[in-house]
Amino acid sequence: MKKSDIKSDIKSTKKKKGAGTAAAYLWSAPSLLLICLIVVFPIFYTGYISLTNMNVYHWFTYDLIGLDNYKEALLVFDSGFLSALFLTVVWTAVNMLLQLVAAYLLASLLNTKGLKLRNCYRTLLIFPWAMPGYVSILLWKTGMFNSQFGLLNQWMEKMGFSPVKWLADDMSAFICCTIVNLWLALPFMITIIDGALQSVDRSYYESALLDGADWMQRTWYITIPAIRPIIAPSVVITIFTTFKQFDVIYLLTQQAGAKTGAHIHTILTYAYENAFITNNYGYSSAVSMIIFVILIVFSYGINMKPKEES
Amino acid sequence: MKKLTALLLSIAILTCILCGCGAQGASLTEEEKNTVVIWHDKEEAVSEALSDELKRLVPDVTVQLEYKSNLTEALKMVGNDPKAAPDMYFFAHDKIGVYAEMGILAPITDLIDKETLTASCVDMTLDAAAYKGELYQLPVYFETLLFLYNRLYMPDEKVPGTTEELYAYMEEKTRGGHYGFVEQHSTAYYSAGWIHGFGGCIMDENGNVGLSSPETVRALEYHKKFVGLMPGESEYATVNTLFQEGKAHATIGGPWLVSASRAAGMDLGIAPMPVIDETQIPISPYMGVQGVQVLKFAAENKTEAVKKVLYALMQPEVGISLARVSGCAPAVEACYENDEVASDDVVMAMREMAENTIPMPNRPEMDVMWTVAADMLVNINMSGQDVKESCAAAQKNAEELIKKMQ
């Protein structure tokens, strides 16, 4: 083959590749545009609003005011914010640990050999997912924790104990919020771990059994390493969802007109009470952008670990 | 072929997405000028009665009543967009300040003669509709809290006339899961009545925060002893269920509770608010005035149709019809000449109560005050914190947050 032929071949391959790439971008354009509109644009727009004086008094006639809102916003990050940040980290850690352990145990039980009505149990365990979170949370609040009509206090009274205000004290409110969050989050984690468990090659367990490994050893040396890469993305997603949790804690303890007396705050409920109620969108956007940066740093920290391990 | 289809579909979707970004014209056709859209968040019975009356009174204008569950937030988003915003909205007066400051409301006096308004409406309702010297609402009806009691447990002769009598009754009757009296004690809207009874306030008409005033502190110190004889939860569902299930003998609640309690078969009594012994002033709750506000675009571009609707809403028939379905007191004085209205104990109780009520402040700062005051009440009533310290901390917090609104 001549040199010129090879060159023209390379050129035509490059052309084809270029045309292919362009076509791929064109076909992805609607999705990319939607992602830009729904995800990227709001972030940039919030960033822009945070540099303006948009508030009730300058709703449609706002001006750029530089970093003034950020100077104000940093004042929100006082000792109250720091304790809210600490509680958010504790909340995330406790919830993740409980979710992983509970979901693993339930998924393992679902995978027990010879289990009858397996699909029925799966459907039941997925049930909390089918209900809107808002409804679930309020059902727990009035149906379970209410000191006058709640099921828990009816049991307490039947057993001869005096009624308890479950959501009035910080510690018991934290435990109640954790239980409700567990109820809401378990279906997702069970589904993922259940799927992951089914993908583990049975032959590993057979070899381990021949070597005399007990249940704990099989779990520690075979199951966990095998399912870790599969469940890792879900764990990361759940960590974020839990970290930026607002509805469970707000609706159970701080809903307007239904506050319970507990003072547990995540960074979002704290920012809501100390910034968002002001109707000052410039200022609230600055607070949001700072929280966004905190989340990005947190995300970077979490993503670092698997890389180091790999 | 497949590629071509994919290409065409991609272009079609892209075009559809970008179409939404197109500019929208503002010129109106005759039909559009004669169509008035009213947003509201009222129950079906109220909106149906309103719709029927308007159809009868202004048959030449097409009035569309649209239910909006999150009306106040939706208005903030689209208030200055004529294509998305309504022409009017039917809501309580307490958000007038927010929308007036945003610049989306037209003064109602641009469309209705002020003298006509003053002559026909209850004075208090016009006070509520005013913000910075301008009237922004056509009041239609008003509501306030009432002292309600269950005659099965609290006979008429036992109804407390003073707060000390009420306390004695609570001490006697609160036991074994039964309560002498319940209210939403840690909600600002409900506690305001006690605060006003001592001459205090959450925020005065000039926008001054009154949380740490000596009168407010004294009111909350006094109120705290009543809270000790009420259930821990102070939210709407618990308090109302206790009353409706006969576990609480008396309560302070709105007119919405009256129809539900009577429908449940309760022999319900309505009494004047107990007088506070120390000040000789009755518990004086907030009053909310429900009415119509007009958006600027509609006032400028649909003037005639909007005027017709407003004048129709001032007809006594509308107030009478709404009083029948809502149990609220009409804002138009002439409605009280109607026998049906005059013989309605709930409506008349509210009309009489109007003398001892305070219109909810309609300043934008109230958005902050509801949350701060509720936090303060929770700290005092539910977390057992010191009244004076909690009030001082809440005052400081409120002033800081109000500063941040600017």
Cβ pair B70, B282 in contact under 8 A: no
pLDDT at position B226 over 90: yes
Q: What local confidence, expressed as pLDDT, does residue A304 receive? A: 67
Q: B292 to chain A nearest CA, in Å?
A: 21
B interface toward A at CB cutoff 8 Å? 3, 6-7, 10, 13-14, 17, 76, 79-80, 98, 101-104, 184, 186-187, 189, 231-238, 241-242, 247, 364, 367-368, 370-371, 374-375, 378, 382-383, 401-402, 404-406
Q: What local confidence, expressed as pLDDT, does residue B126 receive? A: 92
Q: What local confidence, expressed as pLDDT, does residue B17 receive? A: 55
Question: Which has more pLDDT, A3 or A69?
Answer: A69
User: pLDDT category, A10, cuts 50, 70, 90?
Assistant: confident
CB atoms within 10 A of CB B51: 15
Tell me the chain B residues in contact with residue A70 when contact means C-beta distances shorter than 8 Å. Answer: none
- pLDDT tens for each residue of B53-91: 999 999 999 999 999 988 988 998 888 888 889 999 999
SS3 content of chain A, % helix, strand, coil (to 5): 75, 0, 20
Tell me the chain B residues in contact with residue A57 when contact means C-beta distances shorter than 8 Å. Answer: 101, 364, 405-406
Contact A30 B235 (CB under 8 A): no
Counting one residue from A and one from B, how many pairs have CB atoms under 8 Å apart?
A: 110
Q: What local confidence, expressed as pLDDT, does residue A115 receive? A: 81
- pLDDT tens for each residue of A259-299: 888 889 888 888 888 788 888 889 889 888 988 888 888 77
Region A165-189: mean pLDDT is 93
CA proximity to A280, closest of A34, A65, A5, A44: A65
Question: Which has more pLDDT, A236 or A6?
Answer: A236
Task: List phi, psi (to 5°) of A197.
Answer: -65, -35
Tell me the chain A residues in contact with residue B185 when contact means C-beta distances shorter than 8 Å. Answer: none
Q: Where are the alpha helices (DSSP H) in B228-315?
A: 236-244, 255-263, 296-301, 303-313
User: pLDDT category, B26, cuts 50, 70, 90?
Assistant: low
Q: B176 to chain A nearest CA, in Å?
A: 11
Strand order across the B248-253 sheet: B179-182, B248-253, B146-150, B268-271
Tell me the chain A residues in contact with residue B404 when contact means C-beta distances shorter than 8 Å. Answer: 72, 275, 278, 280, 283
Q: What local confidence, expressed as pLDDT, does residue A46 receive? A: 93
Among A9-18, A249-258, B80-89, the minimum mean pLDDT is found in A9-18
pLDDT at position B389 over 50: yes
Cα separation, A16 vs A48, in Å, equals 41
pLDDT at position B24 over 60: no
pLDDT at position B2 over 80: no
Cα separation, A215 vs A268, in Å, equals 42
Cβ pair A184, A101 in contact under 8 A: no
Q: What local confidence, expressed as pLDDT, does residue B7 receive? A: 62
Cα separation, B181 vs B371, in Å, equals 25
Tell me the chain B residues in contact with residue A283 when contact means C-beta distances shorter than 8 Å. Answer: 404
Mean residue pLDDT of chain A comes to 86
Region B334-356: mean pLDDT is 89
Region A118-142: mean pLDDT is 87
The dihedral through the CA atoms of A253, A254, A256, A260 has a sign that is positive
Q: What local confidence, expressed as pLDDT, does residue B390 receive? A: 96
Of chain B, the percentage scoring pLDDT greater than 70 comes to 94
Residue B100's identity, in one-letter code, is: A
- Tell how strand B281-282 and strand B138-144 pair up: unpaired
pTM reported for the whole predicted model: 0.83
Q: What local confidence, expressed as pLDDT, does residue A310 receive? A: 43
Of chain B, the percentage scoring pLDDT greater than 90 comes to 70
Region A199-217: mean pLDDT is 88
Question: Which has more pLDDT, B327 or B226?
Answer: B226
pLDDT at position B37 over 90: yes
CA proximity to B367, closest of B38, B77, B96: B96
Supply the Cα-derived Rg of chain B in whole angstroms. Answer: 24
Contact B236 A59 (CB under 8 A): no
Cα separation, B136 vs B125, in Å, equals 11
Question: Which has more pLDDT, B149 or A23?
Answer: B149
Cα separation, B201 vs A297, in Å, equals 45
pLDDT at position B381 over 60: yes
Residue B112's identity, in one-letter code, is: I
Region A241-262: mean pLDDT is 89
Q: A226 to chain B nearest CA, in Å?
A: 40
Find all residues with CB under 8 Å of A34, minimum gap 6, and list them. B17
| CA torsion angle B214 B218 B221 B225 (round to 10) | -170
- Residue carrying the six token digits 């036991």: B175
- Residue carrying the six token digits 């039917």: B90
- pLDDT tens for each residue of A72-94: 888 777 767 888 888 999 999 99
pLDDT at position B186 over 80: yes
Region A156-171: mean pLDDT is 90
Cβ pair B160, B166 in contact under 8 A: yes
Region A174-180: mean pLDDT is 96
Cβ pair B168, B274 in contact under 8 A: no
Question: Which has more pLDDT, B48 or A271?
Answer: B48
- pLDDT tens for each residue of B283-340: 999 999 999 999 999 999 999 999 999 999 999 999 999 988 888 899 999 999 999 9
Q: What local confidence, expressed as pLDDT, does residue B276 receive? A: 96
User: pLDDT category, B45, cuts 50, 70, 90?
Assistant: confident
CA proximity to A42, closest of A289, A291, A290, A241: A289
Name the residue of chain A whose CA is nearest to B234's CA. Answer: A258
Residue B238's identity, in one-letter code, is: T
Tell me which residue in B364, B368, B382 faces A261 most closely, judged by beta carbons: B382
- Residue B306's Cα: distance from chain center in Å? 23
Q: What local confidence, expressed as pLDDT, does residue B266 receive? A: 93
Q: What does the buried/exposed string (b/e) look like for B395-405 if buried means 16 or more CB atoms within 10 Å of the residue's CB? A: bebbbebbebb
Question: Which has more pLDDT, B294 or B31?
Answer: B294
pLDDT at position A309 over 50: no
